[in-house]
Amino acid sequence: MRIMIRYTAFLLVAFLLETLTSEAQPKSSYTGTININPVRVLQAGKTLYVEMDIILDHVKVKSAGAVDIIPRLVSASDTLVLPKVSLKGRNEYLTYERVLSLMSLSERSVYSPSYQVVRNLKVENQTIEYRYTLPFEAWMAEAYLDVQKDECGCGEVAWMEVETIDTVKLDIIPFPYRIVPYLAYVQPVPEPVKNREKQVEAFLDFEVNQTYIQPEYMNNPLELAKIRAMIDELHVDHDITINRLDLIGYASPEGSLAGNKRLSEGRALALKNYLARRYSFAPSLYHIVFGGENWEGLRKALTDLDVVYKAEIELIIDNYDGQKRKERLMKLQGGEPYRYLLRNIYPGLRVAICKVEYHVKNFNVEEAKEIMKVRPQNLSLNEMYLVANTYSNGSREFINVFETAVKLFPEDDVAKLNAAIAALSRGDIEMAGQFLDQVKYRELPEYANAAGVLALLRGDYDVAERFLQAASDAGLEVAGKNLKELGKKKANDLEIKSRMINE
């Protein structure tokens, strides 16, 4: 019995040794040959393109076998494994499908991060086109592509040593050159005295032929409140000195000119008396002005209305004056249009304007910086410019100052030009173009430089060169730097175009 046990043990050891020896011999999971034909690996902008053809020459994967083709980007500092192409035999592919069927979509992407899984059953020629893109990173400029093959012919989950199949160098296309514009702002002329004016229109209601203001009559509470709000804002500001208050009365153009003058002046005087009871201004600050019959207001009101005989009314207003104009309006189409005007338009022409003239004290830079936060309207353009230069050029605070300035001084060419330059500094080409189009005086070299930068960013190189050369000839140093940027951009465009054609 003991001998039998020893013999059986000997046979078992011999069997194991034979099995291990057999398994130690390398076995392939497939027949045929696999070749890689590199198409291209290139960088264009922020994207890297990896393209190759995997050529299967009479490849037949064994039923329980699998072959993975694994591309990698390799550099001295980093390695990135790209999605693989997996060739699977019949049983291996069925197992793969069963496992996938039990997973959620998110689990599948983790389990099988493959570019393509191929069920290889027949011996035939086949080409798998591998086309993959990924974000370009700086280290990839020194990388190369190698393609590896992993296979296991034993039917167990174990991988053989990786075998390098081919190596392809990167073909790098340059990044599009990013223009760095050089900008120059214009310093506004200082104001020794900052004279300002502000006005508000009030449509006050009076009883027929009366010149006395009844504060609670009809719409008067709201209209009087508009006037008081404007004056209060100025009156309580200790940086402001009020120099003059003009009370201008306009009349609707019916009746005699003398009668209209008497009524409008009387109503303006009534407004002056109303204000004098509420404020302590010196009487000498008030000035009563007759604005005349409000034909301009009538012409403006007609443009926004769709009324009968509108064109005929406008012709009369535009081609006749004085009493003759009134008479023709009254006779037009039997008086029907005139009666419409009396009822619907003329009451709104009896307007009173309160205009306040004042001056604002001047501020040093530190004072102006604080005023900018709370009452920027009290600053001059030059004071705003000095505030802007306390911040880093191109910073958000720096740009905000120039964008605020153009809102407060919308008709000023320097404000519009600096706002355009600020828009360029933050890459807003559309806004920069809008502001530059509004600038009337275009002889400043800073304007030519800004127009040149705008054309450069738009890709209009001929226009850019013309403007920038003019600014450089006028002595503006930054224009010369922008001409160099133009040269770099043109050279970069040519290089990219040449490389793309060659590809």
The pLDDT profile of the chain, 503 residues, written as one tens digit per residue, is 333 333 333 333 333 334 434 444 456 788 888 888 877 788 777 888 888 888 888 888 888 888 888 888 888 788 899 999 998 888 888 888 888 888 877 776 666 678 888 887 677 788 999 999 999 888 888 788 888 888 764 444 334 344 444 455 566 666 788 899 999 999 999 999 999 999 999 888 877 667 788 888 888 899 999 999 999 999 999 999 999 999 998 888 988 888 888 888 888 898 999 999 999 999 999 999 988 889 999 999 998 888 888 999 999 999 998 889 999 999 999 999 999 999 889 888 888 899 999 999 999 999 999 999 999 999 999 999 999 999 998 889 999 999 999 999 999 999 999 999 999 998 899 999 999 999 999 999 999 999 999 999 999 999 999 999 999 999 999 999 999 999 999 999 998 888 767 65
Hey, what amino acid is at 141? Answer: A
Contact between 202 and 352 under an 8 Å Cβ cutoff? The reply is yes
> Would you list the domain boundaries of the chain?
22-172, 194-305+345-357, 362-502
Sign of the alpha-carbon torsion through 214, 216, 222, 227: positive
pTM higher than 0.85 for the full model?
A: no
Tokens of 389: 């230069």
In whole angstroms, what is the distance from residue 253 CA to residue 266 CA?
A: 16
Element (H, E) at 236: none
**The pair of three-digit structure tokens given for residue 367, joined into one six-digit string:** 């004072």
388/397 Cα distance (integer angstroms) = 7
Amino acid identity for residue 18 in this structure: E
Contact of 143 with 78, CB cutoff 8 Å: yes
Topology adopted by domain 362-502: 1.25.40
CATH of domain 194-305+345-357: 3.30.1330.60
Q: Which CATH class is domain 22-172?
A: mainly beta
Q: Give, in order, the Cα–Cα distances in Å from 307 to each of 117, 301, 302, 349.
A: 76, 11, 8, 17
Which residue matches tokens 């005087």?
A: 269
